[in-house]
Structure 1
Amino acid sequence: MDDKYGLKAAAARRIALREIGDKVLLENEHIRMWEVRLEPGQTLGFHIHYHPYAVLSLSGGENEIETISGRKITVQEPAGSYTFIDEMREVHQLTNKSNVVYLSRLIEIKSVTWTV
C-alpha cells in the first residue's frame, strides 16, 4: 500500500486534518496568506499542503515538525527568516518549542496544486 504522503495513515488513525494556519489574512486568485500563531508548547495539528508555499517568521523561535510517520525535525526560525517549499510533503504537525510566541506568515501559491 503506497502512502507516500501519509493520508491513508491519518485516515486509519481517524485524524481529521486541519487548516494549515490560524486565519486567512489575504486571498486572491494568486495567493492565500495565512497567519500562524503558536503559544509556547502549542501545536498546530496534523495538516498537509497542496500548494507551494513560503513561510516568513515574524517573531523567531524553535519549532518541531512531526510527520504522521513519527519523524521529528527541529527547525530554527530566527525573526525575519524565510523558507520556500516547492514539493509536496508528508502530513505533519508543528509545535512551538520556544518560550516565546511563534508568529509567521505562510503564503500559498495557488497557481500550482499538488495531487496525490
Structure 2
Amino acid sequence: MTDHLNKLPIAGNLVGEHFEGWSDAVKKEFEELALDGHVGSQLLFENHRVRVWEIRLQPGQRWHAHCHSLDYFWTAITPGRSRQRTFDGATREVSYVPGDTRFFTFGPGESLLHDLENVGDTELVFSTVELVESSNTPLSLGS
C-alpha cells in the first residue's frame, strides 16, 4: 500500500517517521477513519463528475484523518503552514502560497489516508476537487 506513496506529489518536508510523535488517539483515529471520504470541511458541490470541497482551518485546528481514493487536485487559497501525517507513519510540514496546486492520480485499490493540521498563525483555506470518474469507486459520505 505504501509503494505508490512514493509516486504521489505529496508536498512538504519530512519531519518524522515511524509514527514518531503521534498520540495513541491519532493512531486510533487513522484506524477508525481509514475509509472516511470527507476530504474537506464543507462539500460545496457534487454531481456525477466531481465533488468540490472547501477546507478551512484556523491556527491550531486539525482536519481529521480522511481517505482520498479518487483522482483529485487541491489548490491553496491562502498562504500558510500545515503539518500532515500519512498512513505510513510519516509526518510532513508544508508551507503554501496562494495558487499552490497539486494533482493526485490513484490506480485501482490505491488511496491516500492522511490528516491536516494548521501550524501557522493565519487561517488556512484550500479548495479540493475530486474526479468521480476515477479508477476507484467513490467512498460513501454517509447521510
CA distance in 1, matches of 2:28, 2:120: 28
Question: How far 1:89 sits from its partner (Å)?
Answer: 4.0
CA distance in 1, matches of 2:82, 2:111: 17
Structure 1 counterpart SS, 2:68: coil
1:97-112 to 2 correspondence within 5 Å?
A: 97-112=119-134
**Where does the alignment leave 5 or more consecutive residues of structure 2 unmatched?**
3-26, 138-143
2:82 to 46, 63, 77: 63
1:76 maps to what in 2? 95
1:32 maps to what in 2? 51
**Where does the alignment leave 5 or more consecutive residues of structure 1 unmatched?**
6-11
- Could you tell me the TM-score, scaled by structure 2's length? 0.66
Q: Give CA-to-partner distance per residue, 1:32-76, whole Å, 9 cap, x none.
A: 000101111111111111101110111121111102342111222
CA distance in 2, matches of 1:90, 1:55: 14
Question: How far 1:16 sits from its partner (Å)?
Answer: 3.0
CA distance in 2, matches of 1:83, 1:48: 16
Identity score, percent: 25
Q: Flag the structure with higher helix content.
A: 2
1:13 maps to what in 2? 28
Q: Considering only aligned residues, what root-mean-square deviation do their CA atoms show, in Å?
A: 2.0
Question: 2:99 aligned with 1:53, yes or no?
Answer: no
The one-letter code sitting in structure 2 at the alignment partner of 1:98 is G
Could you tell me whether the CA contact under 8 Å between 2:58 and 2:122 is conserved in 1?
yes
- Could you tell me the TM-score, scaled by structure 1's length? 0.80
The one-letter code sitting in structure 1 at the alignment partner of 2:28 is R
1:9 maps to what in 2? none
Structure 2 counterpart SS, 1:91: strand
Question: How far 1:81 sits from its partner (Å)?
Answer: 1.4
